[in-house]
Structure 1
Amino acid sequence: MPPTASQARREEILRLATTTGLASVDELSQRFGVTASTIRRDLARLTADGRLARTYGGAMALTAHPEASLRQRTGEAYAQKRAIARWAAAEVQPGETVLLDAGSTVGALAHELRTARDLTVATTGLTALHELADVESVHVECLGGTLRPLSQAFVGPLTEAALERMTFDRVFLSADGVTADGGINEADLRQTRLKELMARRAARVYVLAHAEKLGRAPFHAWAALPPGWTLVTHRAASEAQVSAFTGRGVRVVRVEPLEELGDPEEPDPLPHPPGD
């Protein structure tokens, strides 16, 4: 017997909650073209069946969304990340002081900056340190602190204290997910607090995120961003994804694939940082 409309809707609600981490009553109501009361009944049924956990204004998946290690993420959307990194590197001007977050896309940016001259780079990520440690024309500042193994990033009060002593021309941030209204979504509250502080210390704020991360909220820690920030993504991002950001005053750059930027050959793999 085929599922009823309500059963099919509940299965789709469950899929959405598992994929994005959260399901909002208002968003689900608009998506399915039913009343908020109908959605609340669906959520109540899924909660009673032990398949969802209710939250204020919606529900969340019971199964925690697993956080991938930096090494696992390095191979994801590889061509998109390299194209984004190349565009971001072209923004950096000689004589500037820039701040690099941890993350695989920002790590790819650090690789592109190996040819830079007269540049100061501060970073919280081991990948950027690995890429730039032997580049004599780039002065590197390590914002040390407590190492978080999964993200290969320094976090905590020591990192935050080091940030307070510097200002930057540009900051390039990574994200597990990014939304137009919420900002950057991450698995760890220490990371989101740090990203907020990083954004406050820079004149220009960039978030580097490939298309699959746009509109996603797999975790429950958020970093709000100041007005006027720039989202750098890939041409694969849909018009609907992009309009959600431009409608809130975010500058969105969609870069071209690498082969259309004059680099038809497969680039060298990103280096693996030690450990996960």
Structure 2
Amino acid sequence: MSLNIIDRHKLILKKLEANGFVTVNGLSDDFNVSLVTIRKDLKLLEEKKLLFRSHGKAVPVNPYITESTVKIKEKIHIEEKNKIAIAAAQTLEPNDSIIIASGTSVIEFARHIKPLEGLTVLTASLNTAIILTKIKGIDIMQLGGTVRSSSASVIGPIGEKMLAEFTFTKLFLGVDGIDIDYGLTTTNLMEASLNKEMIKASQKLIVLADSSKFNKKGFGRICGLNEVDQIITDSGLDEKTKNRLLELGVELTIV
């Protein structure tokens, strides 16, 4: 196949859209051009922000996440987070003892919690604790530790030691990224460490994540998807990812 650079670029983007990724070796074979030529093609397309190069391949967007503050995050995907929060609140049962981690998805979840007999909540999020104080009949425990100003939540060994003293029925976890192979991630290493201890202290892990979080990676790995019991997300989740999650045995709730 002999193509000029414009036609090659069009076909590269078409293959990328169809398959979700392209490889340098594969494109070199398809177009019968050198590896150097393909790398130059991908570099030009990346400069135009049409793809992201990584380890001999290219994907549609940069899968790596940079940290944003709660104030920024709470202004995006508002409708999706609201639907996810409503569905999460419906999983609560009388006498549940739950952990609510940190992030805008779990803060929205807290807003939809109704008075429930025997409900105990431990949270790392200061905003979540404040919201829950307005709901009668809930025993609230604030996790101790160092406060992160960007997320208004606590991290550190004090909170990790505190978690070792309790057992909870459910953990409601917000994440920055979900990658099928790599698992759940966040942008902060200490938060990832605290989340690991939350998982150890809980009988069931429920992840609240809008569809924009999928196929993304943060700096700190929390756990693999084999440790996840349920994911609540929105209808924007692509079919390929949905099927992979179901194959892994993850309970998937689409709202």
Change (3 A) 1:57 1:203: farther
Aligned amino acid, residue 29 of structure 1 = T
Mapping for residues 53-68 of structure 1, pairs under 5 Å: 65-68=65-68
User: Is contact 1:28–1:39 with CA below 8 Å preserved after alignment?
Assistant: no
Structure 1 residue 115 displacement after superposition: 3.0
CA distance in 2, matches of 1:101, 1:39: 49
Tell me the alpha carbon deviations over residues 244-274 of structure 1, each in whole angstroms, 9 at most, x when there is no partner. Answer: 212222221102xxxxxxxxxxxxxxxxxxx
CA distance in 2, matches of 1:221, 1:98: 23
User: Is contact 2:183–2:223 with CA below 8 Å preserved after alignment?
Assistant: yes
Structure 1 residue 4 displacement after superposition: 3.6
Structure 1 residue 58 displacement after superposition: 6.4
Structure 2 runs not aligned, ≥5 long: none
Aligned amino acid, residue 188 of structure 1 = N
How many residue pairs match? The answer is 241
Tell me the alpha carbon deviations over residues 167-213 of structure 1, each in whole angstroms, 9 at most, x when there is no partner. Answer: 11000100111122222121111111222221121111111001111
Partner of 2:119: 119
SS of the equivalent of 1:206 reads strand
Structure 1 residue 71 displacement after superposition: 1.2
**What TM-score comes out, normalization by structure 2 length?**
0.78
Of all paired residues, the percent bearing the same amino acid is 21
Partner of 2:23: 29
CA distance in 1, matches of 2:130, 2:39: 47
Larger Rg: 2
User: Is contact 2:24–2:57 with CA below 8 Å preserved after alignment?
Assistant: no
Structure 1 vs Structure 2 CA RMSD: 3.6
Partner of 1:264: none
User: Is contact 2:119–2:138 with CA below 8 Å preserved after alignment?
Assistant: yes
Tell me the alpha carbon deviations over residues 215-235 of structure 1, each in whole angstroms, 9 at most, x when there is no partner. Answer: 222x33211144352111012
User: Is contact 2:69–2:151 with CA below 8 Å preserved after alignment?
Assistant: yes
Change (3 A) 1:168 1:11: same
Partner of 1:252: 252
Partner of 1:223: 222
CA distance in 2, matches of 1:241, 1:79: 21
Structure 1 residue 135 displacement after superposition: 2.7
CA distance in 2, matches of 1:167, 1:40: 55
Structure 1 runs not aligned, ≥5 long: 17-25, 256-276
**What TM-score comes out, normalization by structure 1 length?**
0.73
Tell me the alpha carbon deviations over residues 106-154 of structure 1, each in whole angstroms, 9 at most, x when there is no partner. Answer: 0111111143332100001112111112333000111110111112221
